[in-house]
């Protein structure tokens, strides 16, 4: 059956649709062009600066100036600009005495300075006393027109060199990387990467793992429990979620408020802007929904206190039994508190330029359920349950774009429509070898 031609759908994944050789050659040309552009223009700019020729000399004439000495004969402030907006320019009359002839010029810097007040312009001339000799700089080819008492830092010249050198660095690194990858198989690249991990220095920092591709559980076992061996950390802190809801509702309400005031102002002035009014209505509706959600979250979190989950052992193995101890504080009438053992597959992929992720639950086992009880302040709910990891199930796994996550989820369904899910990640290892054999 012929496939439909998809017009709008973005290309999925990073798979190439062109020849690998063509792609490599194209990348080599691209990075070579950047690299050689950088090299040629850096060399030209450096030569032009050293030889004091075009184009650097035209752009930054001060690079060709030589140092000398000049006598300040007089100082003054000149009014420039318009009648309505006058500006004041400080100047000094200097005498440059060269063997060939003497030059007189009103000057200070190559790019004249001007101030909005006369006092500021006079302050700028502090330190220049008539009759005194000061260092000066001038272009030897035209000293009479170029003499200055202060040099302007040539920041622009440094920026030009920085940009040109960045071309060399980017082009060079890209070129080396492309050449290294050219004709190298994916397996060889992967082997090089894993070899790099086993280098002496890195090996000291990261001890070799007995179970490759299984996430480290150090962060899950660093907090001892009160009743059982380990207190499991919560996956996403409710505080962060509450803060995110607050920030979103504040920002959205601010924007909706601006829309509302502008639309209302137009209506009151008798010039209604219907387009703005139509846009404002859904914006205000979303803002009200966001505020309502935030208030519901605050109410839920003040009523439902912290959830604690402890486990007798970690990591977990398929087919083995463990004890879990749950504590739930707060002030509420609970219809049901359920603990679930969950395994989820997670995959990340590129869709066009977007990074998308998808999860699929493959295991969902009820560990325990407690129904119809009340939690009072200072008297948290506490219970001890048995947990069994299903036999023959997949272990935890993590690679760059794919993962298998195991977690314990505490689901609370309380009065006043309060529903909360709190997740506690765990790590499941493959069944122990003796059992597997």
Partner 1 sequence: MSLQPKIEIMLDRPNRTYLPDDELIASFEIKGTRPSEVQAIEASVLWYTEGTGEEDLATHDFRRLLPIDRNDADLTKRRKFQTRLPRSPLSYQGLIVKIRWAIRVRVFMHQGKEYMEEVPFTLGDLAPAVPIAAKRSSRKRTDDAA
Residue 19 sits in the site that holds partner 1 (CB under 8 A): no
Strand segments, DSSP code E, in 216-353 are 230-231, 304-311, 321-330, 332-351
Closest by alpha carbon to 78, among 47, 106, 48? 106
Q: Name the minimum Å distance from CB 250 to partner 1.
A: 35
Of the candidate residues 117, 222, 348, 421, the single one contacting partner 1 (CB under 8 A):
348
Q: How far apart are CA 353 and CA 12, in angstroms?
A: 9
Restricting to residues 360-419, name those near partner 1 by CB under 8 A: 360-364, 392-395, 397, 399-404
126 binds partner 1 (CB under 8 A): no
Please report whether residue 188 would count as binding partner 1 according to CB under 8 A.
Answer: yes
Site for partner 1 in 92-121 (CB under 8 A): none
Based on the shown chain and the rule CB under 8 A, indicate whether residue 293 belongs to the binding site for partner 1.
Answer: no
For residues 356 and 375, give the distance between their C-alpha atoms in angstroms, rounded to a whole number: 40
Q: Is 426 in the site for partner 1 (CB under 8 A)?
A: no
Residues 389/317, Cβ–Cβ less than 8 Å: yes
Q: Which is nearer to partner 1, 14 or 100 (CB)?
A: 14
Q: How far is the CB of 324 from partner 1 (least distance, A)?
A: 21
Residues 203-232 contacting partner 1, CB under 8 A: 210-214
Q: Does 346 participate in binding partner 1 (rule CB under 8 A)?
A: yes
Q: What are phi and psi of 162, to 5 degrees?
A: -60, -45
Residue 144, both tokens: 């009479």
Nearer to partner 1, 145 or 348 (CB): 348
How is residue 344 written in tokens? 């989820």
Question: Are 276 and 263 in contact, with CB atoms under 8 Å apart?
Answer: yes
Give the binding-site size for partner 1 (rule: CB under 8 A).
45
CA–CA dist 281, 172 (Å, integer): 54
Alpha-carbon distance of 195 to 277, in angstroms, equals 63
CB of 412 to partner 1, least distance (A): 21
**Tokens at 229, concatenated:** 């061996």
304 interacts with partner 1 by CB under 8 A = no
Q: Which positions from 166 through 185 interact with partner 1, judged by CB under 8 A?
A: 183, 185
Query: Is residue 429 near partner 1 by the rule CB under 8 A?
Result: yes
Tokens of 242: 């509450």
Phi, psi dihedrals of residue 394, rounded to the nearest 5° = -75, 145
Strands 230-231 and 332-351 turn out to be: unpaired
* 434: contact with partner 1 by CB under 8 A: no
Q: Which of 328/396 has CB closer to partner 1?
A: 396
Binding site for partner 1 (CB under 8 A): 13-14, 21, 183, 185-188, 190-191, 194, 210-214, 345-350, 358-364, 392-395, 397, 399-404, 429-430, 433, 436-437
């Amino acid at each position: 059956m012929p496939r439909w031609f998809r017009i709008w759908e973005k290309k999925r994944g990073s798979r190439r649709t062109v020849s690998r050789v063509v792609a490599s050659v194209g990348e080599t040309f691209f990075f070579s062009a950047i690299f050689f552009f950088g090299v040629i223009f850096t060399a030209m700019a450096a030569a032009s600066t050293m030889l004091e020729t075009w184009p650097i000399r035209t752009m930054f004439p001060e690079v060709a100036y030589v140092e000398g000495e000049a006598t300040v004969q007089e100082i003054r402030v000149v009014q420039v600009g318009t009648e309505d907006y006058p500006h004041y320019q400080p100047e000094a009359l200097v005498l440059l005495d060269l063997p060939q002839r003497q030059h007189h010029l009103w000057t200070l810097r190559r790019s004249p300075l001007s101030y909005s007040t006369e006092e500021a312009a006079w302050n700028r001339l502090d330190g220049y006393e008539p009759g005194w000799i000061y260092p000066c700089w001038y272009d030897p080819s035209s000293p009479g027109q170029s003499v200055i008492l202060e040099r302007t830092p040539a920041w622009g010249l440094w920026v030009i060199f920085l940009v040109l050198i960045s071309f060399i660095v980017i082009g060079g690194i890209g070129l080396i990387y492309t050449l290294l990858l050219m004709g190298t198989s994916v397996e060889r690249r992967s082997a090089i990467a894993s070899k790099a991990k086993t280098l002496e220095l890195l090996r000291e920092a990261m001890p070799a793992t007995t179970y490759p591709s299984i996430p480290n559980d150090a962060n899950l076992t660093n907090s001892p429990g009160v009743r059982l061996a380990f207190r499991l950390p919560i996956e996403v802190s409710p505080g962060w979620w509450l803060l995110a809801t607050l920030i979103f509702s504040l920002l959205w309400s601010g924007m909706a408020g601006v829309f509302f005031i502008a639309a209302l102002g137009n209506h009151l002035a008798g010039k209604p802007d219907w387009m703005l009014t139509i846009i404002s209505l859904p914006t205000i509706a979303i803002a009200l929904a966001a505020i309502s959600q935030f208030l519901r979250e605050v109410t839920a979190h003040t009523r439902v206190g912290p959830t604690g989950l402890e486990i007798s052992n970690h990591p977990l193995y398929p087919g083995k039994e463990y004890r879990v101890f749950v504590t739930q504080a707060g002030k509420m009438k609970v219809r049901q508190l359920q603990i679930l053992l969950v395994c989820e597959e997670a995959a990340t992929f590129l869709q066009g330029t977007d990074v998308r992720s998808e999860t699929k639950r493959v295991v969902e086992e009820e560990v325990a359920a407690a129904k119809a009880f009340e939690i009072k302040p200072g008297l948290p709910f506490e219970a001890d349950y048995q947990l069994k990891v299903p036999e023959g199930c997949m272990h935890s796994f993590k690679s760059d774009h794919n993962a298998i996550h195991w977690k314990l989820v505490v689901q609370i369904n309380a009065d006043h429509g309060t529903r909360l899910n709190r997740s506690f990640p765990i790590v499941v290892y493959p069944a122990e070898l003796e059992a597997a054999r």
